[in-house]
Amino acid sequence: MEWSSLAGWWLDELASDPAYEEEVLPLALRLLEPRPGRIYLDVGCGEGRVMRAITERGAEATGVDVSPELVELASRYGKVHLADVPPFDFLGSDSVDGVVLVLVLEHIRDEEHVFAEAARVTRPGGVLALVINHPIWTAPGSTPIQDTTGEILWRPGEYFSTGWSDEPAGEGTIRFHHRTMSRLLNSAASAGWMLEEMVEEGVTDAQIERTPGLRGQEHIPRLLGVRWRLEDSVK
């Protein structure tokens, strides 16, 4: 099912899960470090939560999404483009100070094109901030298992594959494209992005309190956050 038809499910899912506001959004902002007077592109902006947070910090936000319903909602916080990406052909070269993707890249098939387009539209020295579900979670066939002692372990599935899996989403499914961490970092480096920081986060106490079934999985990474800087020599 196309993302453009899942706007209602996304809004319901987001509204019922405080983890986005409590864990995902703070990580994205920590990596992006939006500064007053600068402009940032939010790829897959949804209804505009990241854009809102950017503008609250005195910066300017622009966004892009494939859903007309979500584009209309996000337009409260800045100019939003209706497009399926990549490419980012709605922006000229060197037009933003940073690009952010929050829980989006794993749903895009061609990550190399994303990194290249992000480099094209970003000014020299700009930043790329990424938050995704950790690759150990998106590997086809990955799942928690319990051993004979009751300890919860994680079966990584086909981690070294470059496959995909479809997960339930309302009345449809969402496709997750899996990449190993090395493929992700190498693809970014090939586009001129220099790694500055990488963060791996696991299950929080708040998540366990809301979802007791996660207890015992504190040692398993759930989110991966990365910040890159665009090398001046690329331009």
> Which of 66-80, 157-171, 179-193 shows the lowest mean pLDDT across its residues?
157-171
**Band of pLDDT at residue 29, cut at 50, 70 and 90:** very high
pLDDT on residue 42: 98
Q: Convert 159-172 into a string of H (helix), E (strand) and C (coil).
A: CCCCCEEEEEECCE
Mean pLDDT computed over every residue of the chain: 91
Q: What is the pLDDT of residues 110-161, one digit of tens each?
A: 999 999 999 999 999 999 999 999 999 888 888 888 888 877 888 888 999 8
Q: What was the pLDDT predicted at 120?
A: 98
Percentage, residues of the chain above pLDDT 90: 63
148-151, long-range: CB < 8 A, 24+ apart: 151/216
Amino acid at 9: W
Instruction: Give the separation between CA 99 and CA 129, rounded to whole angstroms.
Output: 6
pLDDT at 235 over 70: no
Instruction: Provide the CATH number for the domain formed by 3-133+181-234 in this structure.
Output: 3.40.50.150
pLDDT of residue 58: 98
* The pLDDT of residue 212 is above 80: no
pLDDT of residue 13: 80
CB 15 within 8 A of CB 8: no
Task: Give the pair of three-digit tokens for residue 230.
Answer: 């665009």
Q: How far apart are CA 65 and CA 84, in angstroms?
A: 7
- Are 199 and 31 in contact by the 8 Å Cβ rule? The answer is yes
Tell me: the pLDDT tens digits for 45-91?
A: 999 999 999 999 999 999 999 999 999 999 999 999 999 999 999 99
CA gyration radius, the chain: 18
